[in-house]
Amino acid sequence: MAKKMKPKPDNLLAQNKKAWHDYNILETYEAGIALTGTEIKSVRAGKTNLRDGFIRITNNEAWLVNVHISPYKEGNQFNVDPLRSRKLLLHKKEIAKLLAALTQQGKTAVPLRMYLKHGYAKVLIGVAEGKKLYDKREALKKKDQKREMARALKERY
């Protein structure tokens, strides 16, 4: 009898935890990313920082801006600028929806996580709305309350 395989996690390479703290994520899109040979090696090694990144749409093309991918150690002359803009691979309809969402006041698009899917690097993009300071405090209070309830239940049983 064959052994049942557990579903594999989505091979998370980088995550933008600050985005979940600073923004309310309204909707998400999955996009491919165009990388050079040494960049994909560096991404697979986990040398990516999504923290200050954002998505810009110019000439009906989506670009990932200000995301730092460290140069590959063995890449020498083939390495590129770590902060260069990288093209996102989306369908025309997805770009149109994203553009319509971004033209609204107070909306922005940020990268939430980067992962491998079937051997290709993917980026999860979130259309987000900025949180106010009191919203951030409220979210931290709720998180602490959940943690306290979990601790109390663990001690009880």
* Residue 145 domain flag: no
Instruction: Tell me the whole-structure pTM to 2 decimals.
Output: 0.78
What's the rounded Cα separation, in Å, for the pair 89 and 86? 10
Query: In this model, does residue 89 exceed pLDDT 80?
Result: yes
Q: Report which residue type is found at 93.
A: K
Query: In this model, does residue 7 exceed pLDDT 90?
Result: no
What's the rounded Cα separation, in Å, for the pair 48 and 98? 24
Sequence-separated contacts (24+) of 113-116 with Cβ below 8 Å: 113/12, 113/13, 113/14, 113/15, 113/16, 113/50, 114/12, 114/13, 114/14, 114/15, 114/33, 114/43, 114/48, 114/50, 115/10, 115/11, 115/12, 115/13, 116/10, 116/11, 116/13, 116/44
* Residue 20 domain flag: yes
Residue range 19-30: average pLDDT?
A: 88
The residue segments making up the domain with residue 112 are 12-131
CATH of the domain at 119: 2.40.280.10
* Residue 148 domain flag: no
Task: Identify the helix (H) or strand (E) that includes residue 27.
Answer: strand 23-33
pLDDT, tens digit (0-9, with 9 covering 90-100), for 62-73: 999 999 888 888
Tell me how many domains the chain contains.
Answer: 1
* Residue 45 domain flag: yes
* Residue 149 domain flag: no
* Residue 88 domain flag: yes
